[in-house]
């Protein structure tokens, strides 16, 4: 992840051109206005900027992932579009590595022909550092040597940070100048290979940064350094729950970030988030690692076949996580578990931390496929605990019951402000749990583990649910404004890039004036020891929300030129899909239909091949008779070839008895799309109605009796949806309609809660 010597696709030469790499952390607080609620006096300072969401690694998520804000995106490791930084009000951690691996030959200098390679290495290091930090001769403060066997260059330099020398002063000064210039007031510096950073340097850095409200991220350090760290990250799934507990006992102030090396099904990420996100172990979409990591297409941002199947889970759980974090962690839980064998705070056996070598580099190895226990970080040695968020039941108290099984929870009713009307609301299942009030206690049993429950009156729970609905609408408006700023609009917004994407070709078409063009080829990328075939395509994600199983039919036309081979692609097991994800070379020329069901199992994948060679427009179709209702569908066009070219046009996706309908937007890849024009024409009016709905929902959340407002709110939601669907523009408003469905569900839940307490 962070190591310059082990991160595929991020060579030193490339880093030399980008001396600052950004980690971007969203602090816009979902439109709440302030950066964070007041923390309890005893809570440690935390400059991580985390507010309960997820991170994404590399790419520019605001441009690469359609409607990225609905996924709970708050942090990016690797950079972001400056316009998104401004529009979302993000804070920035700028990356810095004390270990430099570059080349004797770089932009503006070439010492590769010098016979004295050690001297050439020092000169190359000086040139690189001067360009990055504006100071000459910094090799005198570093261990620099010629290293021809290096994977990321033939120059190796390790900075001397033991004293406040000119190199240290230059590094800190340049970062501080950058923060000042860009108006960055939250975030800080991300340290790579921090295992051997001297304490004196770390203390000096923390003093300077904390004085500005900034913090430090790192990927490996001794336990005694954890008190300086706000964001501790690593690849894969190395952070067990026990390790997270132990790290905080040792003084870690912020979060742990996991840069995942395998993609997850909906059910797997659901289990992952329920255990880890609520323990402050934050999911970062990354790659599968392995040999594909050096490819231009292995990153999370370019793999809709990974992130779109997680989107619906993230939509559900991240708002709960954010609500919990806003309530504020309390030091005393004022509750205990009847089954707890050990006092709260004990974390069982001492778990392993992040491994580093003698030079301080983090050891980054591709691990074997993870079972669910390692995905969740929970084991037999993980003692059940309960954590409390929120002061009292008047505004809502959240308990995270950190256990892998059902638990009986015994609460101190007086400490929590529990009244006769206090109920126990299970956030994950959306239902009220049976509870017993007796002798100054409130006792309830969770249906499964882990669990998040809210203690509050029915009215307060309803108000909190309405506040979350308002946040979702506010996020939608933020996304639409950002799309305008970035120029991300329909029709192009309809199709997410797959791997290296494709080109909307206005010169070739079956009908109309456009098609999607893809080409084969080979390249070595940043890893010259490996060869890659061009992998291109596009994907579109569609919400079907079937209530009963209905026939699904997908059709597409494609023509080809000099395609060598079209090999069978079978994605019937998770292992097969992960191999497909990793593939550097392949001969895929096909169309996939991914179907997600409500159960969270791996998506069902149906594939049809197009013919190889050279041919005119050829029609292929996929017909599925599902045995249970389908939640979402994704159409994916894939071309992974060493040569040749292909074009795709005139797609259609139907569900049920639809004969002339098409669930896909921009199905012909036309630059001038009539539906997109209509969607843009009604955009201002639509957003005005969203703003009106948002204000109505907020008013209900702040009212004495929210039940009175629910019928009118439901009518507003239906009218807003009809504005889109009545004009046949549902395909151009997919995220917006998902948000309206979410508001409907929350309104119905509030109505049931309030009716049950009357």
For residue range 623-681, list pLDDT tens digits in order: 999 999 999 999 999 999 999 999 999 999 999 877 668 999 999 999 999 999 999 99
Say if residues 46 and 139 touch (Cβ distance below 8 Å): no
Show the CA angle centred on residue 73, arms to residues 36 and 324, nearest 5°: 45
Q: Give the separation between CA 386 and CA 373, rounded to whole angstroms.
A: 20
Specify the pTM.
0.88
Question: Which of the residue ranges 251-265, 598-612, 727-741 would you say has the lowest mean pLDDT?
Answer: 251-265
638, β-bridge pairs = 537, 590
Say if residues 132 and 152 touch (Cβ distance below 8 Å): no
Show the CA angle centred on residue 310, arms to residues 305 and 313, nearest 5°: 160
Show the tokens assigned to 575. Answer: 């292992």
Instruction: Give the pLDDT mean for 580-600.
Output: 91
Instruction: Please tell me which residue, 483 or 529, carries the higher pLDDT value.
Output: 483
37, β-bridge pairs = none
Show the tokens assigned to 61. Answer: 């998520």
Q: What pLDDT score does 361 carry?
A: 52
Q: Give the separation between CA 475 and CA 478, rounded to whole angstroms.
A: 5
- The three-state secondary structure class of 518 is strand
Q: Give the separation between CA 632 and CA 653, rounded to whole angstroms.
A: 12
Q: Which span out of 251-255, 343-347, 411-415 was modeled with the highest average pLDDT?
A: 411-415
Q: How many residues does the chain have?
A: 758
329, β-bridge pairs = 389
Show the tokens assigned to 697. Answer: 């929902």
- pLDDT category at 107 given cuts 50, 70, 90 is confident
Q: Given a cut of 80, is residue 35 above it in pLDDT? A: no
What secondary structure letter does DSSP report for 19? S
Q: What pLDDT score does 275 carry?
A: 96
Q: Is 9 left (phi over 0), alpha (psi -120 to 50) or beta?
A: left
- Chain-centre distance for alpha carbon 416: 34
């Amino acid at each position: 992840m962070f190591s310059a010597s082990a991160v595929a696709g991020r060579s030193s030469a490339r880093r030399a051109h980008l001396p600052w790499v950004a980690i971007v952390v969203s602090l816009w607080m979902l439109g709440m206005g302030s950066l964070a609620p007041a923390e309890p006096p005893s809570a440690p300072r935390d400059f991580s900027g985390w507010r309960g969401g997820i991170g994404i690694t590399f790419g520019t998520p605001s441009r690469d992932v359609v409607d990225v804000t609905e996924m709970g995106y708050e942090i990016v490791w690797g950079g972001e579009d400056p316009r998104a930084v401004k529009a979302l009000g993000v804070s920035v951690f700028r990356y810095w590595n004390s270990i430099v691996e570059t080349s004797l030959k770089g932009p503006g200098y070439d010492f590769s022909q010098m016979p004295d390679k050690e001297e050439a290495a020092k000169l190359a290091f000086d040139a690189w550092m001067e360009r990055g930090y504006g100071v000459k001769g910094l090799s005198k403060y570093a261990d620099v040597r010629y290293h021809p066997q290096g994977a990321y260059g033939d120059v190796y330099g390790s900075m001397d940070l033991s004293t406040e020398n000119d190199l240290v002063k230059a590094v800190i000064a340049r970062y501080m100048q950058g923060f000042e210039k860009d108006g960055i007031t939250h975030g800080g510096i991300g340290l790579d290979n921090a295992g051997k950073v001297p304490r004196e340097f770390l203390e000096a850095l923390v003093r300077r940064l904390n004085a500005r409200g900034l913090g430090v991220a790192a990927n490996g350090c001794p336990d005694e350094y954890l008190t300086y760290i706000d964001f501790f990250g690593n690849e894969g799934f190395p952070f067990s729950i026990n390790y997270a507990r132990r790290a905080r006992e040792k003084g870690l102030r912020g979060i742990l970030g996991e840069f995942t090396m395998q993609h997850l099904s909906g059910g797997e990420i659901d289990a992952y988030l329920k255990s880890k996100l609520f323990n402050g172990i934050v999911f970062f979409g990354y790659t599968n690692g392995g040999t594909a990591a050096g490819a231009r297409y292995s990153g999370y941002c370019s793999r809709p076949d990974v992130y779109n199947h997680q989107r619906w889970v993230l939509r559900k759980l991240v708002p709960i996580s954010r609500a919990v974090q806003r309530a504020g962690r309390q030091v005393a839980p004022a509750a205990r578990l009847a089954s707890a064998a050990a006092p709260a705070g004990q974390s069982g056996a001492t778990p392993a931390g992040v491994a580093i070598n003698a030079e301080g580099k983090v050891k980054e190895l591709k691990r074997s496929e993870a079972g669910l226990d390692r995905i969740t970080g929970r084991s037999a040695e993980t003692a059940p605990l309960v954590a409390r968020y929120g002061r009292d039941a008047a505004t809502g108290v959240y308990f995270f019951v950190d256990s892998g099984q059902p638990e009986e929870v015994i609460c101190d009713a007086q400490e929590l402000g529990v009244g006769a009307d206090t109920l126990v609301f299970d956030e994950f299942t959306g239902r009220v749990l049976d509870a017993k009030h007796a002798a100054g206690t409130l006792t309830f049993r969770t249906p499964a583990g882990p669990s998040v429950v809210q203690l509050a009156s029915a009215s307060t729970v309803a108000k909190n649910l309405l506040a979350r609905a308002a946040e979702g609408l506010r996020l939608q408006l933020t996304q639409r404004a950002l799309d305008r700023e970035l120029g991300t609009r329909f029709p192009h917004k309809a199709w997410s890039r797959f791997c290296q994407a494709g080109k909307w070709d206005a010169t070739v078409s079956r009908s109309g004036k456009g098609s999607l063009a893809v080409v084969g080829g080979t390249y070595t990328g940043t890893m010259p020891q490996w060869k890659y075939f061009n992998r291109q395509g596009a994907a579109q994600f569609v919400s079907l929300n079937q209530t009963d199983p209905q026939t699904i039919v997908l059709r597409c036309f494609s023509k080809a030129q000099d395609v060598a081979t079209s090999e069978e692609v079978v994605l019937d097991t998770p292992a097969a899909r992960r191999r497909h994800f990793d593939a550097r070379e392949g001969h895929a020329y096909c169309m996939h239909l991914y179907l997600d069901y409500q159960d969270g199992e791996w998506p069902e994948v149906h594939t049809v091949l197009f013919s190889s060679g050279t041919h005119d427009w050829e029609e292929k179709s996929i017909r599925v008779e599902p045995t249970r209702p389908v939640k979402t569908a994704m159409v994916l066009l894939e071309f992974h070839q060493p040569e040749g070219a292909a074009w795709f046009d005139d797609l259609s996706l139907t569900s049920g008895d639809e004969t002339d309908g098409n669930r896909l937007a921009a199905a012909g890849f036309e630059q001038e799309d009539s539906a997109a024009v209509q969607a843009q024409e009604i955009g201002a009016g639509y957003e005005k109605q969203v703003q009106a709905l948002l204000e109505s929902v907020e008013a209900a959340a702040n009212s004495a009796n929210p039940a009175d407002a629910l019928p009118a709110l439901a009518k507003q939601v239906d009218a807003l949806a009809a504005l889109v669907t009545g004009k046949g523009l549902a395909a151009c408003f997919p995220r917006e309609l998902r948000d309206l469905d979410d508001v409907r569900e929350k309104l119905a839940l509030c109505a049931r809660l309030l009716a049950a307490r009357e």
